[in-house]
Amino acid sequence: MLSRVPALPRRSVQLLVGLFFYGIGIALIVRGELGVAPWDVLTQGLVKLTGLNFGLITILTSGVVLLFWIPLRQKPGVGTIANALLVGPAADVGLWLIPADQDLWLRIVFLASGILVLAAATGLYIGAHFGPGPRDGLMTGIHRVSGWPIWVGRTGIELTVLVIGWLLGGNVGIGTVAFAVLIGPLCGFMIPIFAVKIPPKDVAEPAIARIEADLEGTVAPSSVAGDSPAN
């Protein structure tokens, strides 16, 4: 049925739905209170430092990351800008809807559900072919300029933000490890499922092909300290 929907409208809706549920996935993991992804550890630490809300810090962090694209000569796509602007507010909606301070069993459910939702949202978002998220574009840009394997740049950056976030008071725990181990394989499974089949000439930048190749080649190493490929 979805294959009969014109490519551009479907891609646009899929992008927005994917970004919304990406934020919901982040909120579920945060409400699990068992540890969050490295970039979200940094966000939590900055929330404690500044008193600003989670969504606004996410937007501001994305903006700072995009500044690093300039010397790398990375070109943002529509999906890049949408990611930077929409994921944070979606996470705030999720944090408003999902109650905090729950029993352990429910927090485990939140964590597991959040990882699954975030992986599916990543498949939707990347499968729409509108360009990589700010953080993934930074990593692929470093790879292109330096020649380093994707996992080297990815692991180095995410270990750095993880340590900074932890020092600022972000939540590092078993959930951080679970995210790092599971998100790569889950995204590798989800991205082909949701990829919109369109002629190459209709895609401004073949982001899906590069990211799928990166996942196939670097799932195990990048899981040392992983953030979602959509971020």
Secondary structure (3-state) at 131: coil
Rounded CA separation 112/175 (Å): 9
Tens of pLDDT, residue by residue over 1-20, are: 444 445 788 899 999 999 99
- Considering the domain boundaries, does residue 185 fall inside one? yes
Is the pLDDT assigned to residue 226 strictly greater than 90? no
8 A C-beta contact, residue 6 and residue 14: no
8 A C-beta contact, residue 53 and residue 92: yes
| 176 Cβ neighbours under 8 A, 6+ residues apart | 35, 36, 37, 38, 41, 162
Is the pLDDT assigned to residue 230 strictly greater than 70? no
- Considering the domain boundaries, does residue 194 fall inside one? yes
Q: Tell me the pLDDT band of 218, cut-offs 50, 70 and 90.
A: very low
Rounded CA separation 200/116 (Å): 29
- Considering the domain boundaries, does residue 229 fall inside one? no
Rounded CA separation 176/119 (Å): 15
pLDDT value for 73: 87
- Considering the domain boundaries, does residue 193 fall inside one? yes
Residue reference for tokens 């490519």: 7
Which structural domain, as residue segments, surrounds residue 194?
Answer: 6-222
Q: How many domains does the chain have?
A: 1
Per-residue CA distances from 129 to 163, 205, 212 (Å): 32, 7, 12
Number of H helices, E strands in the chain: 10, 0
Is the pLDDT assigned to residue 216 strictly greater than 60? no
- Considering the domain boundaries, does residue 102 fall inside one? yes
Rounded CA separation 167/188 (Å): 31
Rounded CA separation 167/136 (Å): 24
- Considering the domain boundaries, does residue 189 fall inside one? yes
pLDDT value for 201: 54
Q: Which residues of 8-33 are buried (b: 16+ CB within 10 A; e: fewer)?
A: eebbeebbbebbbbbbbbbbbbbbbb
- Considering the domain boundaries, does residue 230 fall inside one? no
- Considering the domain boundaries, does residue 228 fall inside one? no
Is the pLDDT assigned to residue 128 strictly greater than 70? yes
pTM here is 0.81
pLDDT value for 197: 78
Is the pLDDT assigned to residue 99 strictly greater than 50? yes
Of 98-107, 144-153, 189-198, least confident by mean pLDDT is 144-153
8 A C-beta contact, residue 121 and residue 188: no
Is the pLDDT assigned to residue 162 strictly greater than 50? yes
Comparing CA positions, the residue from 174, 62, 188 lying closest to residue 120 is 188
Mean pLDDT to the nearest integer, 176-187: 89
Mean pLDDT to the nearest integer, 207-225: 45
Phi-psi region of 73 (alpha: psi -120 to 50; beta: other; left: phi over 0): left
Is the pLDDT assigned to residue 208 strictly greater than 80? no
